[in-house]
Amino acid sequence: MVTVTGNCHSPNIYYLIINMIIDRLKPFFLWLHDANHVANFQRKFGILPNDYPTDTVSTTFLNQNENFNNNNNDSSSQYCNGYDLNKHITNGYRNAKDDDLKTKSSQHKGHERKITYDTNVIDECIEEIQHKKRSSSSTAVAQQLVSKTELADKSKGLLDYKIDNWFWYYFFQFGAALGNEIFYILFFPTWVWNVDGSVARKISILWAFFMYIGQATKDILEIPRPRSPPVLKLEKRYLEEYGFPSTHAMFAAGIPLSLVLLSIQRYDFNIWIGIAFAATTCVWVCLSRIYLGMHTFLDIIAGTIYALFLVYLMFPYVDAIDQFQLNFALAPLLNFSIGILLIKFYPSPKQWSTARSDTTVILGSAFGLCSATTTMFKLGLLKKPLTPPIYSIIYPNYLHCLLRTVLGLILIFLTRQIVKNVVLRITCFIYGLDYRNPECKRLAKIEMPYYYLTYFAIGFNISFSCPVFFRAIGIGRDYSYTEI
C-alpha cells in the first residue's frame, strides 16, 4: 500500500520541485530580461539619445515607467515593452495625439526612412549604416537639411539616437553582420568554392534545422523585443519580429561550433584554436545584438543554450543525412517538397514580420545546396576520396580563389535578380495582382514562392552551376577529398 501511494504521488512531487526551482529562478530571469541593462550597455558604448530642443520635447529615458509629455503637457505616452496601446511599434515612444503614426515607417532626426520588405541584403546593410551615420550629425547641421514638416514630426516626440563612439559602433555593427544574411551570402559560397563542400553541406543542414525551430519558437512565444524607451533600437529591419530566443545568438553559437566539430573530423588542426574562434564569434555577435538594442541578455543567453542543445540533438545524424542526400536519386524532389511543407506549417504570425520570409530564405538556400550536391554526385562530378580522413590542410591557389569568388558572386547575383522577378510576375499574374505594388510581397501566397524558389535556385547554383562553370574555364579547385 505504501508503495502504490508513493508511485501515485511521485509525479506531484516532481511538479512541486520543478515549480519551486522556477519560482527561485524567476527573479533572476526577470533581472536578465530588464531593458534597463540593455540601455546601460548602449550608453557605456556610446549610443545616446539625441538632444531635442527643450521647447519641443523633454525626455527622461532610464525610468521604465516614465510618462513622456510634450511642451504643452496635454498628452502622455504609455509603453508595454516597446508596444504602445494602439499597437504602434516605434523607435522611441508614442504621443497620444499622434494617431496617424504608421508602423511601416521609422522616422529619425532629419531623416525619414521607409522600412523596405524586399531589398538586396547588402544594399540594405549599406543603407542602414549610412542612415545611422547621418542621424548622428549635430542638431545645427540636421536642421539645415530637413524640411519644416520633418521638424514638426520630430516635435511629436520620437526618440532618436546619436553615435558618441564610432569605434564601438563599427565594431558591433560588424559583429552583428556575422549573424545576418550578408554573412550567409558570403560564407556558404566561399566555403563551397574554396574550402570544403562536404563541411558546408552539413553546416547547411544544421543551419536549417535550428534556425527553423528558433524562428518558429519566437513566433509561438511572442515575447517582444526590449522596451523602447529606455532602449534605443538601431536596427529597423527586425523591429516587428519577436525577441525571445535570439536567433542571431542561435546562429552565432551553433554555426561556428558545428564548423569546428565537422572540420576536426576531416582535417588536422589545433581544436583549441577552433574552440576559441567559435567562442569569440558567439560572444561578439551576442553583445552586438545588445548594442543594437534588439535583445535583452535573457534573449541571447536563451538563444545560445537553445542552439547548443539543438546541435547536440542533431549532430549525430548529420553524416547519415548527408549520405542519404548523396545516394538517393530523388533527394532533390524530396528536399523541395519538405521545404514547402515546413513553410506551410510554419506558425502564422499575428502581424507581418520578416521572420517568415527569413525562414523561407534559409530553407530554400539549404535545400537547394543539398539538392545540387546530389545532382553532382549522380553525374559523376564528385568522387569518393581514395584515402580516409584525417587530411593535412593544403592551401589553395589564392588567385583562383579570388576569381572563383568574384565570378561566382556575379552569377549568384544574376540568378537572384532573374529568378525573383520571374517568380514575382508569374505569381502576381496567377492571383491577379500588380507585381509593381510592394505590398503584394507581404501576402503569404506571394511571399513564400517568391523567396523559396529564388533562394532554392541560388543554393542550387552555389553548389552545382558555379563549380561546373569553374571547371569549364580551368579555375576549379581540387575536389578529390573535400566533397564526400
Average of per-residue pLDDT across 227-235: 82
- Specify the range with the lowest mean pLDDT, choosing from 81-85, 329-333, 464-468: 81-85
Instruction: Kindly tell me if the per-residue pLDDT of 207 is higher than 80.
Output: yes
**pLDDT over threshold 70, residue 245:** yes
Question: Which tens digit of pLDDT belongs to each residue from 46-93?
Answer: 888 875 333 333 333 333 333 333 333 443 334 434 434 344 333 333
Contact 49/161 with Cβ under 8 angstroms?
yes
Q: What is the pLDDT of residues 16-26, one digit of tens each?
A: 887 788 888 88
**248 is annotated as an active-site residue:** yes
Mean pLDDT throughout 131-145? 41
pLDDT at residue 312, as a whole number: 92
What pLDDT score does 126 carry?
A: 44
The one catalytic residue in 108, 111, 248, 400 is 248
Quote the longest CA-to-CA distance of the chain.
86
Look at residue 154 in the predicted model and tell me its pLDDT: 38
The 8-class DSSP code of residue 388 comes to: P
When mean pLDDT is compared across 108-112, 203-207, 371-375, the lowest value belongs to 108-112
Confidence of residue 301 (pLDDT cuts 50, 70, 90): very high
The catalytic residue among 9, 88, 295, 400 is 295
Residues forming a β-bridge with 114:
105
The residues, any chain, with a CB within 8 Å of residue 475's CB and separated by 6 or more, are 400, 403, 404, 407
Phi, psi of 161 (to 5 degrees): -140, 165
Tell me if 335 sits within 8 A of 427, measured CB to CB: no
Of residues 416 and 229, which shows the higher confidence score? 416
Q: In this predicted structure, what is the pLDDT of residue 197?
A: 86
- What whole-number distance in Å separates Cα of residue 362 and Cα of residue 347? 16
Q: What does the pLDDT average to over 322-346?
A: 91
Q: Does 4 score more than 80 pLDDT?
A: no
pLDDT value of position 384 = 79
Window from 110-114, 225-229, 387-391 with minimum mean pLDDT: 110-114
Spatial distance between the Cα atoms of 348 and 351, rounded to a whole number of angstroms: 9
Position 480 confidence tier, pLDDT thresholds 50, 70, 90: low
List own/partner pairs for 24-29 with CB under 8 A and 24 or more apart: 29/298
Position 194 pLDDT exceeds 60: yes
pTM of the model: 0.72
Taking Cα atoms as reference points, which of 353, 102, 125 lies closest to residue 242?
353
What per-residue confidence (pLDDT) applies to 382? 83
Least confident of 77-81, 276-280, 455-459, 465-469: 77-81
Residues in the chain: 484
- Distance (Å, rounded) from C-alpha 191 to C-alpha 208? 17
- The yes-or-no verdict on residue 117 having pLDDT over 80 is no
User: Is the model's pLDDT at 138 over the cut of 70?
Assistant: no
| 295 is annotated as an active-site residue | yes
- Burial code of 385-419, b = ≥16 C-beta within 10 A, e = fewer? eeeeeeeeeeeeeeebbebbeebbbebbeebbeeb
Residue 108 has φ and ψ, to the nearest 5°, of -135, 170
Q: What is the pLDDT of residue 431?
A: 87
Give the per-residue pLDDT at 297: 92
pLDDT in tens, 262-283: 999 888 888 999 999 999 999 9
Name which residue leads in pLDDT, 122 or 410. 410
3-state secondary structure of 301: helix
pLDDT at residue number 445: 83
